Amino acid sequence: MSAICNYSHPELQITTDMARHPSGTLFPYNPEFYDKASSLYGPGAIYCWLLLLVSVILSWVFHDRISDDKAGPGMSNDLWAVLAYPAFAATDALVEAMKLRGIEHRALAYFCLRFPEVELNGFDEFNHTQLDLRDKVPPEILSLGQRTIDLTGPASVCYLFLPLFFTTVGIISYADHKRLQKRPERIESPALEEQTESPDTSPSACSNSDHILRKGPRVSSTLWAFALAWATWGYVTVMLTICTLSLGDYSIIFFIFSYEGFKPLYLMCVLFTSLLFGAGFLFFGIHFVRSCQQREWQKSWELLQALGICLLVGCFFPGGFYMSLYWQPMSVAPDLGIAVTERDQLATLIVGIATLGYTIYSICYPGRREVAVEEEMEPLQAADSNA
């Protein structure tokens, strides 16, 4: 069964006169290994999920700009989708892992197919004789490869969700804390107390009550959103732990946990350092151009030095990260033999792009929404004055 790892290194095997599969990298000459892979975990679906996650973060951070709900952010369709996807993936991963029980070397097969660049000589004895990939793949090896590939799809989504969850919760918790700090204290006045004792339900009174804000604990909608997020994280963690431990070989399982945990963290470091480098270079570049236009040469020289330091730091951090990715490529999406240009993947990706684009549009142009709200309130106010 360990021969499955030899098939995942086609560059070492005999591939004379064989056609290369256009999308798969593990089995470019044996695409039958991808027959059972689900397109639900293809690159388009995973990228769409990540874009929805960014949309949720932006909608929480800039809630006051895109919503009139003074109570704060809460449950939304985007949040349901972001949490439902890893929860379903965790369930699917457990089901697929149970199908592998009783098969020898299943942990080794998972490890070598998820991380083919790792040297495996210390884990088992391998036959280094070249395989002729033109021959038919033995049925037991084909079955193991198909089931393992089918497992890597949902498992990779779960391992990606765990570190992203803490990052997301940290960002939205900080944004929610800042939002609560900006809310004014409760206005204590006899008029307010009288209004509280005898509430007026007219449209004008409802519109005026929007200006009376109370600073206190978060409302139930926000608390429910946090509770659902933590419940999803707990469910995914338990299911993923059971799924991984069911692979049997605990020495290899330790390395699976280590590599699966390190991979998303490394990719997040690459992303964040790239964003910081781009933001810093853009900031200093804009101020440098402005100082040159205003003929402030001393300030321009200081900004030019800052640009040089930014470039130097960028060569070491984002540049070093990208060089390591060049020598050992890493991808957010698992290798399932599915291309992002396929119709279903492309359609899913477009949905994520459109959702994120609409969120950014709502943040950048909040005035359009305020005008629409005012137009809706005018008939109500006119009806109240006539009454």
Residues 330, 34 contacting (CB under 8 angstroms): no
The 8 Å CB, 24+ separation contacts for 363-366 are 363/58, 363/62, 363/65, 363/66, 366/65, 366/66
How far is C-alpha 201 from the chain's CA centre?
43
pLDDT of residue 128: 65
* Contacts of residue 141, Cβ cutoff 8 Å, sequence gap at least 6: 1, 3, 4, 7
How far is C-alpha 114 from the chain's CA centre?
19
Note the pTM of the prediction, 2 decimals.
0.76
Length of the chain: 387
pLDDT of residue 232: 94
Q: What dihedral do alpha carbons 201, 205, 206, 210 form, nearest 10°?
A: -150
| DSSP reduced 3-state for 149 | helix
pLDDT tens by residue, 339-362 = 898 999 999 999 999 999 998 888
pLDDT of residue 152: 92
pLDDT of residue 312: 79
List, as one string, the DSSP characters of 182-243: HSPPP---HHHHHHHHS---SHHHHHHHTT----SSPPHHHHHHHHHHHHHHHHHHHHHHHH
Average pLDDT per 10 consecutive residues for the chain, totaling 387 residues: 70 76 81 89 93 90 71 77 94 92 86 83 66 81 89 93 87 75 51 46 44 45 84 94 89 88 83 79 83 83 82 74 70 87 92 91 71 52 56
Spans of all domains in the chain: 4-15+28-184+219-262+339-367
